Amino acid sequence: MPIVPLSLPSGSNKARFNQGGAAQLINCYLSPIGDEGKVKSAIYSSDGLQGFVFLQSVASGLGCRAGIVVDRALYVVAGTALYKVSATGNQTLIGSMNISTTAPVFMERNRRSTPDIAIVCDGLMYYCRGDVLTQVTDSDLLSPLTLAFSDGYFGITTAQNKWQIGSIDDASAWDGLDFATADGDPDALIRIAALQAQFYLFGERTIEVWQDTGDADFPYARSFVIPIGLLASNSVATVAETFAWIAHDRTVRLLGSGDSAEVISTPKVESDIQEIADPSTIRATSWVSRGHTFYALTCPKWTHVYDTRMQRWHERITYGRKNWRIAFVVAFGTKLIAGDADTGALFEMSPTFKDDAGDPLVSYIIPPTVHAFPQRVTHNALYIDVQRGVGTGQGVPEDIDPELMIEWSHDGGETYKTQRSVKLGQQGKNLTRVRTNRLGQAPENGRVYRFSWSAKVDRAMYAVSADLTMDAA
């Protein structure tokens, strides 16, 4: 056979069983170059992390839980306390709260000249005004479970399918008559979210959309009902001016125009969601980097990330873990700030950082299976088009003279037994040839390759070709 190009994965999309396909992108993602490029798209490393500030006095075992930017300051709930962080990383402990250490935390702001920052967690509500933290003790406040803000009103969900709004632009004042019932369908109310002048009330089987009508008695009226529910309360996130969430049927949905709810999940993502016994352990966050809008779903067993630009999923893994360590990401000035789910650490996240705040950032590319079923194939050589000449010129040896690791598997990617390394080229050596020979014979099932690198250098993969010989049947 001649030298043939091998398919590279466009995202993570493993088959139900690995023998059916093991394609994955871990800590890397596909991005377009365009018709004028050598290839139309390339695979780049995910953004790395760098320490920004470590919040003091966060109890051991507790981490960052929610964050919001207000008037050029970042407010973060870490553990059971509220912190204020400046653009230069100076921190102020605003105060402590008597809230659950395990339930989700929701934060929103209003439009006051000195804004109220409302915080809801498991039946309790606090607000911060002028950097003074106060619990809402208004007897008319129903027990709040989730929180959103729209068109001047804080909205909360409560038990018995009720939802309530506060006084306009005031987190401290609530009227016992300013509530309504989400009873378009007899399903339990789980979550409130807001988009423009509408509240979205997520139930187990439906989503009720309520529009601000300006009525003097109660300013919101139900507009329409979407026949898709919500499985995981903390999976709702604003993504590219709309919502994404895990629906009651364990698919991931993206809200479209009108009442459409497009399925964006792959069978692998859906299978992983199906295996989670407690959906409340799944959390979501979203961010924008280099023209890509990302929506990340994380639980203790995995992290799946959807890229709305490429309409593809990839995975994030923190070194030594099964998932990504980040609880939330917020845009703070020109920076992206990521909160650690396990400690009081806040990180800056950027493609210019090549590791995870001191931990290796290992990128894995696992292409589709190479096979000629039912014939065996001898792999004479691999030719790999990656970013070359990327050595740092200084630092540790693995960064000065970086390598790409190559492994392969003959059982569909269950185990990788063979490893080789190829040089990517020291600084300025852009003509380094990245190839390896004598890779042996693969059985009729085919061979799964895995490429990985962790050196703190620029990473991009453009193409892979192979010199193959089809053996006699």
Please give the Cα distance from 68 to 453 (Å, whole number): 34
pLDDT tens, N- to C-terminus, the chain (473 residues) = 679 999 999 999 998 888 888 999 999 999 999 999 999 999 999 999 999 999 998 988 899 999 999 999 999 999 999 999 999 999 999 999 999 999 999 999 999 999 999 999 999 999 999 999 999 999 999 999 999 999 999 999 998 889 999 999 999 999 999 999 988 888 999 999 999 889 999 999 999 999 999 888 899 999 999 999 999 999 999 998 899 999 999 999 999 877 789 999 999 999 999 999 999 999 999 999 999 999 999 999 999 999 999 999 999 999 999 999 999 999 999 999 999 999 999 999 999 999 999 999 999 999 999 998 999 999 999 999 999 999 999 999 999 999 999 999 998 888 998 789 999 999 988 888 899 999 999 899 899 999 999 999 999 999 999 999 988 76
* 82 and 130 together in one domain: yes
Enter the tokens of residue 249: 């049927």
* Length in residues, the chain: 473
* 296 and 407 together in one domain: no
In a domain? residue 453: yes
pLDDT at 473: 63
Q: Which of 270, 299, 295, 294 is nearest to 283 (CA)?
A: 299
* 330 and 369 together in one domain: no
In a domain? residue 358: no
**Which CATH number characterizes residue 161's domain?**
2.130.10.10
* 327 and 408 together in one domain: no
Residue 184 CB-density burial (10 A; 0-12 exposed, 13-18 middle, 19+ buried):
middle
**Which CATH number characterizes residue 419's domain?**
2.60.120.260
* 40 and 141 together in one domain: no
* 318 and 189 together in one domain: yes
In a domain? residue 357: no
With tokens 């407010």, the residue in question is 75
Please give the Cα distance from 282 to 243 (Å, whole number): 16
In a domain? residue 205: yes
Enter the tokens of residue 343: 């400690």
At which of 319, 350, 381 does a domain end?
Answer: 350
In a domain? residue 288: yes
Residue 397 structural domain: 3-46+363-470
pLDDT at 118: 98
DSSP three-state, residue 452: strand
* 53 and 38 together in one domain: no
pLDDT at 1: 60
* 132 and 110 together in one domain: yes
**Are 189 and 148 within 8 A, CB to CB?**
no
pLDDT at 413: 83
Please give the Cα distance from 281 to 276 (Å, whole number): 8
With tokens 């008319």, the residue in question is 140
* 29 and 98 together in one domain: no
* 161 and 281 together in one domain: yes
**Are 104 and 88 within 8 A, CB to CB?**
no
* 294 and 196 together in one domain: yes
pLDDT at 245: 98
Q: Which of 252, 309, 290, 362 is nearest to 28 (CA)?
A: 362
In a domain? residue 355: no
118: phi then psi, degrees, rounded to nearest 5: -90, 140
At which of 327, 350, 373 does a domain end?
Answer: 350
At which of 350, 377, 404 does a domain end?
Answer: 350
Task: Calculate the CA 256 to chain-centre distance.
Answer: 20
Q: Which of 349, 325, 326 is nearest to 337 (CA)?
A: 349
pLDDT at 412: 85
- Whole-model pTM over 0.75: yes
pLDDT at 144: 96
In a domain? residue 228: yes
* 241 and 307 together in one domain: yes
Number of domains forming the structure of the chain: 2
For every residue of 421-443, DSSP letters joined together read: EEE--STT-TT---EEE---EE-
Enter the tokens of residue 380: 């004479």
Q: Which of 294, 296, 302 is nearest to 273 (CA)?
A: 302
End-to-end CA distance of the chain: 15
Q: Which residue pairs, CB below 8 angstroms and at least 24 apart, start in 76-79?
A: 76/339, 76/346, 77/105, 77/107, 77/119, 77/121, 78/339, 78/344, 79/344
In a domain? residue 287: yes
Cβ neighbours of residue 442 closer than 8 Å, sequence gap 6 or more: 370, 371, 376, 377, 378, 379, 408, 410
